[in-house]
Structure 1
Amino acid sequence: MSKEGRMLDGKVAIVTGGGQGIGLAIAEALLDHGAKVVVADIDGDKAAAAVEPRRADGAPVLAVATDVTSETDQEQLVERCLAEFGGVDILVNNAGVTRDRYMTKMTPEDFDLVLNVSLRGAWLGTRAVAGLFRKQGSGAVVNVSSLSGKIGNPGQTNYSAAKAGLIGLTKAAAKELGPSGARVNAVQPGLIRTDMTLAMKQEIFAAKEAEVPMGRAGTPDEVANAVVFLASPMASYINGAVLEVTGGRGI
Structure 2
Amino acid sequence: MNSATTLTGTALVTGATAGIGRAVALGLAARGAEVVAHGRDLDRGARLVEEITAHGGRARFVAADLTDAKEVARLAAEAGEVEILVNNAGIYEFTSTPDTDTDSFDRQFAVNTRAPFLLVGALAPAMAARGHGSIINITSSAATSPAPVGGAYGASKAGIEALTRSWATEFGTQGVRINGVSPGPVRTAGTTAMLGENVEMLGQANVRGRVGEPEEIAEIVLFLAGPASSYINGTVISATGGERSSLPG
| TM above 0.5 | yes
Of 5, 13, 29 in structure 1, the residue corresponding to residue 11 of structure 2 is: 13
Q: 1:32 offset after TM fit, Å?
A: 1.5
Q: Which secondary structure does the structure 2 equivalent of 1:198 belong to?
A: helix
Inter-partner Cα distance in structure 2 for 1:198 and 1:147: 17
Distance 1:36-1:157 versus aligned 2 partners, 3 A rule? same
Distance 1:8-1:66 versus aligned 2 partners, 3 A rule? farther
Of 13, 16, 32 in structure 2, the residue corresponding to residue 34 of structure 1 is: 32
Number of the residue aligned with 2:166: 172
Q: 1:71 offset after TM fit, Å?
A: 4.1
User: Which 10-residue stretch deviates more, 193-202 or 134-143?
Assistant: 193-202
Number of the residue aligned with 1:65: 63
Q: 1:133 offset after TM fit, Å?
A: 1.1
Q: Which secondary structure does the structure 2 equivalent of 1:141 belong to?
A: strand
Number of the residue aligned with 2:100: 106
Number of the residue aligned with 1:247: 241
Residue 210 of structure 1 pairs with residue 204 of structure 2: yes
Q: Which secondary structure does the structure 1 equivalent of 2:181 belong to?
A: strand
Inter-partner Cα distance in structure 2 for 1:69 and 1:137: 31
Alignment-mate amino acid for residue 14 of structure 1: L
Inter-partner Cα distance in structure 2 for 1:60 and 1:25: 15
Count of matched residue positions in the alignment of Structure 1 and Structure 2: 244
Number of the residue aligned with 2:188: 194
Inter-partner Cα distance in structure 2 for 1:93 and 1:79: 16
Inter-partner Cα distance in structure 1 for 2:28 and 2:67: 24
Alignment-mate amino acid for residue 37 of structure 2: V
Would the aligned equivalents of 2:135 and 2:178 in 1 still touch at CA under 8 Å? yes
Calculate percent identity across the aligned residue pairs. Answer: 35
- Scaled by the length of structure 2, what TM-score is found? 0.91
Distance 1:73-1:211 versus aligned 2 partners, 3 A rule? same
Number of the residue aligned with 1:123: 117
Question: 1:62-121 CA deviation, whole Å, 9 max, x = no partner?
Answer: 110122344443343333333xxxx31100001111222111111111011011101001
Inter-partner Cα distance in structure 1 for 2:7 and 2:141: 31
Q: Which secondary structure does the structure 1 equivalent of 2:117 belong to?
A: helix
Inter-partner Cα distance in structure 2 for 1:212 and 1:11: 37
Would the aligned equivalents of 2:113 and 2:156 in 1 still touch at CA under 8 Å? yes
Alignment-mate amino acid for residue 15 of structure 1: V
Alignment-mate amino acid for residue 53 of structure 1: E
Of 74, 77, 102 in structure 2, the residue corresponding to residue 76 of structure 1 is: 74
Would the aligned equivalents of 1:48 and 1:63 in 2 still touch at CA under 8 Å? yes
Would the aligned equivalents of 2:13 and 2:85 in 1 still touch at CA under 8 Å? yes
Inter-partner Cα distance in structure 2 for 1:9 and 1:230: 11
Inter-partner Cα distance in structure 2 for 1:37 and 1:198: 27
Number of the residue aligned with 1:144: 138
Residue 43 of structure 1 pairs with residue 37 of structure 2: no
Q: Which runs of 4+ in 1 moved over 6 A?
A: none
Would the aligned equivalents of 1:78 and 1:88 in 2 still touch at CA under 8 Å? no
Distance 1:21-1:235 versus aligned 2 partners, 3 A rule? same
Question: 1:36-56 CA deviation, whole Å, 9 max, x = no partner?
Answer: 110011334432223322224
Q: 1:35 offset after TM fit, Å?
A: 1.1
Would the aligned equivalents of 2:17 and 2:45 in 1 still touch at CA under 8 Å? yes
